[in-house]
Amino acid sequence: MREGEASILRPEHPSARQLATLVSEFGLESRGSLDGVEVTGITLSTDNLQPGDLYVGVLGLRRHGAIFAGKAKEGGAVAVLTDAAGADIAAESGLPVVIVDSPREALGAISAWVYRTAESAPLLFGITGTNGKTSVSYLLHGILKQLGLVSGLSTTAERTVGELTVTSSLTTPEATEIHGLLARMRESNVRAVTLEVSAQALTRNRVDGLMFDVVSFINLSHDHLDDYADMEEYFAAKLPLFEPERAKRGVISLDTPWGDRVVDATHIPVTTISSTPGIEADWKVGVIEETAEYTEFSLTGPEGRSLVTRVPVIGHHMAANAGLAIVMLVEAGFELEAIGHALDKDGGIVAYLPGRIERVSGESGPAVYVDYGHSPDAFLTTMSAVRKFTTGRLIMVFGADGDRDPSKRIEMGRIGSEGSDILVITDYNPRFEDAASIRTTLLQGAATAEHPAEVLEVPSQAQAIRTAIALASAGDSVLWAGPGHEDYIDVQGEKLPFSARDEARDALREAGWQ
């Protein structure tokens, strides 16, 4: 079953909680009568508000959320949670007001209280890193299901509760949403939950109120420097996930130098893993065989423990991601032998990774892949994986996000040009930026390559993929990087329907390929 786009999953049968008890237990100030006021949910947005909600008004960049208290009341909100300034603004609504110094910082703990998410909590896995969070999450989710557990998932692409799936709007939901999601999972008897944790989620208090059983660090590379001053600040934003108040145990990949620094900085027990020859780690991943359908690998750990299995996608990095997922399960208490038995029974890991080196072409003609990678390091990794199964030319199609870290664009252009034979630069979610200006920067980067590709500029994504496929022959590969699983283009704040996977398939059919 699938619900609508960017839906918010909440418990279907919430239990009411007395607002006066919240005020008493947290030692909060309030205005207005709390007698008989019962709360069944909590939200930051009037768009997602349901009757019985506690509406949270936070100070934004342009205005205070408390100005929507009246609208929240019309939607069925029973009270407002805000700061002192917001309390004055919300007074006109007539709703009782609960006051905290910082609503955002209080949101996790209060959401956990509203939804009782600390009670009968499932196994909770948290995954962070610049690249690979979604892939590790889907692989871990898939293995959990192979082990027979009802599993939940929250990624950049989707939120999943058992067989129910909805589209995501943020990599990590707001604290109100994640606690509501966990309460819904409890209703569905979910026993284990996998959650992507972005740096922004930690900086903006989105995972407050959660205690992870096992967390992992994959890597760190150039990205998100529109949110953080430099790589050091970006790195520092990841570290709170590895503190005792947030997690019990950790698994750290040493495949980038940042992994060693996480090990040095953490205050929880950690184990290490690496897929890089020559690096000493507790667990080692070794690729045994690579085909166009799967990557077979070995995982070897302490005391001679080991297994051999397959991941259903190409790329050395995907074997590393799968190994990390397995070690997270071991750290959570699962026996490696039991994991190996479950995987052997199914012929390897059973998982679908939407828009992650996803092949959308048939058996004949050029191989066409759609991938979500949108950073220089992601380009390097994905091009390397695709090149191994390309007997002809590698044709790459990509653009860069508007209103997002512009400092990586030159390097994106350089790496795309250096690693491909033909490069088609196009638009990709320009948002409020000038699309032509973004393309110009990418073209400048492409020109700096030591061995530049043939470079074409095709503004329309729909036309760009058709241009690439028209140039391709059997034996060639086309890699469309950036859009991955997304089903829209963001132009001037409007999300226009657009699926790269569907568009690529249409282009193949129009060119006469399967």
Domain ranges of the chain: 17-110, 123-149+191-345, 358-510
Residue 514 pLDDT exceeds 80: no
Q: Residue 365: how many CA atoms within 13 Å on its side-chain side? A: 21
Do 17-110 and 358-510 show the same overall fold?
Answer: no
The predicted structure's pLDDT at residue 169: 67
Kindly tell me if the per-residue pLDDT of 4 is higher than 60: no
Other beta carbons less than 10 A from residue 312's beta carbon: 18
Query: In CATH, what class is 17-110?
Result: alpha beta
Measure CA of the first residue to CA of the last residue in the chain; give whole Å.
28
Q: Residue 145 belongs to what H/E stretch?
A: helix 133-146
417 or 173, higher pLDDT: 417
Asked if the model's pLDDT at residue 479 lies above 50, the reply is yes
pTM above 0.85, yes or no: yes
Residues with Cβ within 8 Å of residue 478, at least 6 apart in sequence? 361, 366, 367, 368, 369, 395, 396, 397, 465, 468, 469, 472, 504
Beta-strand (E) ranges in 162-204? 164-167, 192-196
Handedness of CA 6, 11, 16, 20 (dihedral sign): negative
Domain 123-149+191-345 has CATH 1.20.1080.10: no
| CATH code assigned to 358-510 | 3.90.190.20
Whether residue 135 contacts residue 378, with contact meaning beta carbons closer than 8 Å, is answered with no
109: helix, coil or strand? helix
pLDDT-derived band at 221 (thresholds 50, 70, 90) equals: very high
Question: CA 474 from chain center: how many Å?
Answer: 34
User: Vertex 122, ends 116 and 128: CA angle to 5°?
Assistant: 105
pLDDT for 166 beyond 90: no
Average pLDDT of the chain is 95
The whole-number pLDDT of residue 168 equals 76
Please tell me the distance from the alpha carbon of residue 370 to that of residue 373, in angstroms, as a whole number.
Answer: 9
Q: Which amino acid is at 128?
A: T
Residue 171 to residue 185: CA distance in whole angstroms: 18
68-121 tens-digit pLDDT = 999 999 999 999 999 999 999 999 999 999 999 999 999 999 999 999 999 989
Average pLDDT over residues 180-193: 96
The H or E element that residue 22 is part of is helix 19-26
Q: How far is CA 381 from CA 252, 274, 321, 388, 481, in A?
A: 19, 16, 12, 11, 12
Residues above pLDDT 70, as percent of the chain: 98
Contact between 500 and 465 under an 8 Å Cβ cutoff? The reply is yes
pLDDT at 224: 81
Question: What per-residue confidence (pLDDT) applies to 5?
Answer: 38
Structure-block tokens of residue 473: 């022959």
Average pLDDT over every residue of 463-487: 96
Percent of the chain with pLDDT over 90: 91
Q: Which long-range contacts (CB under 8 A, 24 or more apart) does 69-74 make?
A: 69/93, 69/95, 71/46, 72/46
pLDDT tens for residues 126-161? Answer: 999 999 999 999 999 999 999 999 999 999 888 999
Please say whether the beta carbons of 252 and 217 come within 8 A.
yes
Kindly indicate the confidence band of residue 171, based on its pLDDT and cuts at 50, 70 and 90.
Answer: low
CA 511 – CA 181 distance, rounded (Å): 43
Query: Cα dist. 467→158, 472, 499 in Å?
Result: 31, 9, 17
pLDDT number for residue 2: 36
pLDDT for the residue 7? 64
State the number of CA atoms in the 13 A half-sphere of 492 facing the CB: 1
At 442, list the tokens: 């990418």
How many other C-beta atoms can be found within 10 angstroms of the C-beta atom of residue 210? 23
pLDDT (tens digit per residue) in 339-390: 999 999 999 999 999 999 999 999 999 999 999 999 999 999 999 999 999 9
Structure confidence at residue 3 (pLDDT): 37
